[in-house]
Amino acid sequence: MTELHKIRVEVNGALVERTVEPRRLLSDFLREDLGLTGTHVGCEQGICGACTILLNGRAARSCLIFAVQVDGAKVMTIEGLSNSGAVRHLQDLFSKHRALQCGYCTPGMIVVAYDLLQHLPSPTAQEIRDGMSAALCRCTGYVGIIEAVTEAARERVAAVDCATPVHMTSD
């Protein structure tokens, strides 16, 4: 169980090589070995969603995956999504709609929202609620979170409908 394995993972666009124990959780690997502490750990039971990352482009719970399982895969964490600007607008909308209080769930929420909007470009209100139920928030009652994701979805639809990118105005 403690014999070390060498893994090569693309994390936030950069190739990372490390030796890890096979039992090492991906969440611990990201936070402790790579110092990417934006991935939060809330339950390690796959329920709360605070540790959500993108694995080969889809949302996944990093607390339910061993680091050795992502050998050869592409991992994107909240840091990668933030630094590339991919979730900048979602972050602004979370701020605008007070979609966070303590902020502990927020990195996972943003990744869940990003994944939802990537794969459901024009979600219905119910699809947004159900999709965002992949992560737990204990502070906000989800009201601001749903408003933020709804506005992001609406803007995407508007942007797709127009031939040229629309100027985003805040209402």
Partner 1 sequence: MQNRPPKSWRDAVEHEINIPDQPILATDKVRYVGEALAVIVAESRYLAEDAAELIEVDLEPLPAVATVDMALATDAPKVHDDLKSNVVARLRIRKGDAAGILASGVRSIRHRFTNHRYLAMPIECRGVVSQYDSRSDSLTIWSSTQVVHWVRREVAVRLGLPESRVRCIAPDVGGGFGVKGHVYPEDVLIPYLARRLGRPVKWIEDRHEHLLNSTHARDDRHDVEVAFDDKGRILAIRDNFVKDSGAYTPVGIGAPSNTIAHLLGPYDIPHLEAAATVVVTNKTPNAPYRGSGRPEGVFVMERLMDLVARELGMDPVELRLRNMIPPERMPYSVGIPYRDGVPVVYDSGDFPAALHEAINALGGLEAIRAEQRAAWAEGRFLGLGVASFVEGTGAGPFEGATVRIDPSGEIFVATGACAQGQGHETIFAQVAADEWGVTPDQVTVSIADTGSIALGYGTIASRSAVNSSSAIRKASAVLRQKVFAIAGHLLECAIEDLELRDGRVSVKGVPTMSISLAEIAQAARPGWDHRRPPGMSGGLEVTEYFEPPTVTWAYATHAALVEIDRITGAPIIRKYVVVHDSGVLINPKLADGQVLGGVCQGIGGGLLEEVIYDQDGQLLTGSLMDYLVPTASDMPPIEVIHRETPSPLNELGVKGLGEGGAIAPPVAIANAVCDALRPAGYEIFATPIRRSEILKAIDKILG
Residues engaged in binding partner 1 (CB under 8 A): 21, 23-24, 28, 40, 42-45, 47-48, 50, 98, 100-105, 128-130, 132-133, 136-146
CB of 54 to partner 1, least distance (A): 20
CB of 40 to partner 1, least distance (A): 7
Residue 124, CA distances (Å) to 61, 89, 151 in order: 24, 20, 12
- Start-to-end CA distance of the chain, whole Å, equals 55
CA triple 101-93-59, angle to 5 deg: 85
CB of 129 to partner 1, least distance (A): 5
Of 48 and 65, CB closest to partner 1? 48
Helices (H) and strands (E) in the chain, counts: 6, 5
Tell me if 111 sits within 8 A of 52, measured CB to CB: yes
CB of 78 to partner 1, least distance (A): 15
Of 63 and 87, CB closest to partner 1? 63
Of 87 and 137, CB closest to partner 1? 137
Of 50 and 81, CB closest to partner 1? 50
Of 1 and 15, CB closest to partner 1? 1
Question: How many CB atoms within 10 Å of residue 110?
Answer: 27
CB of 90 to partner 1, least distance (A): 15
H/E element holding 117? helix 106-119
